[in-house]
Amino acid sequence: MRLGLGRWKLKIAADAPASKETVPDPRRFKVPYCFGERGRTHPVRARLAGVSWVDGAGEFPPRRRFHFDGARPRTLNGLNALWSCPQNHAGPEFTVLPNQLDPSAILQTAFSFWSSKVLLTAVEFGVFTKLAGRRLTGAELGAELNLHPRAIADFFDALVAMKFLDREGDGPQSKYFNTPEGALFLDQNSPRYVGGILVMLNARLFKFWHDLPEALRTGKPQNEIKHGQKGMFEELYEELPRLEQFLSAMTGLSRINFEAFAGKFDFSPYKSLCDVGGATGLLCIEAAKKHPHLRCTSFDLPAVAPIATKHIAAAGLTGRVNTVSGDFFKDPLPRADVITMGMILHDWNLEKKMHLIRAAYDALPPGGALVAIEALIDDARRENVQGLLMSLNMLIEFGDAFDYTSADFRKWCGEVGFKRFEVIHLAGPSSAAVAYK
């Protein structure tokens, strides 16, 4: 199982005793593209040129640090060595230690709903928004949030231990404050707030996932439509607050992907972009900001247009980004050189996926590109845990909808007539699968 992909820094512990057997001095190295299981400590063995192997432990983000304490093998909470590094880099060499049987991964995953619920509740209560630019004691913050005194220290200190909050000092007079990540991503007034998806996880998905066993046995959705007759989007879009909550959740989940896509995709041969199922217009906004020559259209159901128009105006892009309302199963898609679909295909069964791919093909000129942005499952269906869990989430939300691999996308698009394909990695577990007409 490999979860994380990223650039690692190797720091040899400063307190490593200097000897022939160990690393002579504290040094830092960049190690490109290693995989690791997030948040876990991994046994690791490394050596520098001319120095014998040393053992230690490495943790995937947030700490990004490996510690080596000499030739004596040492394992810290060692989960089996689950990651590897290419050997052709200039830094140290790595090897993976032999597997050691250890139940910590099982226990960590089993208990992870506890930490999930603490974080989601903190966002729901607005902890990070309340702390914006401030340092408060537990009693002060607890009073602002209307918490029972019994709960205060455990709740905030758990957030400190999980590294979502920070604390100055110890004891009742100590003060809590936001970490840089908390301030940037979890303060509702930050332009890079991602909390919308956390709010939706707490308000909707946490309880719907309770019925996963029923979904697995019946193949039926477990969300609002479980006892009603309407389609998921109709149900969701009936009340404005629910619609806004859903669209804010989409923004939280998609922003880093759309920023990465606008930076990585070569828009230079193209003049126009249509984002199908464009929600608040976020993908168009990011693309228009980076590529002044592009004309952008955000296409979505009529109920969404006023919200998108508001966001486009707030970004100062009225006139460069426009909205078109329609139903992508009834209406032809607006013509454009590039058609993007962010988390659209995964919402539907195969028949409807094929309808959307054909509709995109018809709306593109020769050479045009269809781009699907999703947590694409790896082709062997072994590694992208988030993609596979997202597909289970589609079972919970829609029943017959499912996530897919880049090989699936290539096959479906090939059947429709697309000629060339590529995959561009975006952020975390997400990628853009591109098919060229």
Ligand X SMILES: C[S@@+](CC[C@H](N)C(=O)[O-])C[C@H]1O[C@@H](n2cnc3c(N)ncnc32)[C@H](O)[C@@H]1O
Binding region for ligand X (CB under 6 A)? 233, 250, 254, 277-279, 300-301, 304, 327-329, 342-344, 347
Nearer to ligand X, 122 or 308 (CB): 308
- Give the Cα separation of 223 and 244 in Å (integer): 17
Nearer to ligand X, 57 or 285 (CB): 285
Nearer to ligand X, 3 or 339 (CB): 339
Nearer to ligand X, 34 or 432 (CB): 432
Contact (CB, 8 A) for 167 and 176: yes
Helical packing angle, 149-161 and 104-125, nearest 10°: 120
- Catalytic residue check, 311: no
Residues with Cβ within 8 Å of 127's Cβ and at least 6 positions away in sequence, in order, are: 141, 145, 156, 159, 165, 186
Contact (CB, 8 A) for 305 and 282: no
Give the burial string for 99-122 (b: 16+ CB within 10 Å, else e): eeeeeeeeeeeeeeeebeebbbeb
CB of residue 358 vs ligand X: minimum separation in angstroms?
A: 15
Q: Tell me which of 293, 311, 346, 425 is the catalytic residue.
A: 346
The closest of 186, 262, 181 to 426, measured between CA atoms, is: 262
CB of residue 396 vs ligand X: minimum separation in angstroms?
A: 14
CB of residue 304 vs ligand X: minimum separation in angstroms?
A: 5
Apex 41 CA angle, 38 and 46, nearest 5: 110
CB of residue 217 vs ligand X: minimum separation in angstroms?
A: 26
**Token code pair at residue 273:** 């972009």
Helix residue ranges per DSSP H, 126-275: 127-130, 138-144, 149-161, 180-185, 195-200, 206-208, 212-218, 232-236, 240-264
Nearer to ligand X, 250 or 435 (CB): 250
Q: Which residues are catalytic?
A: 346
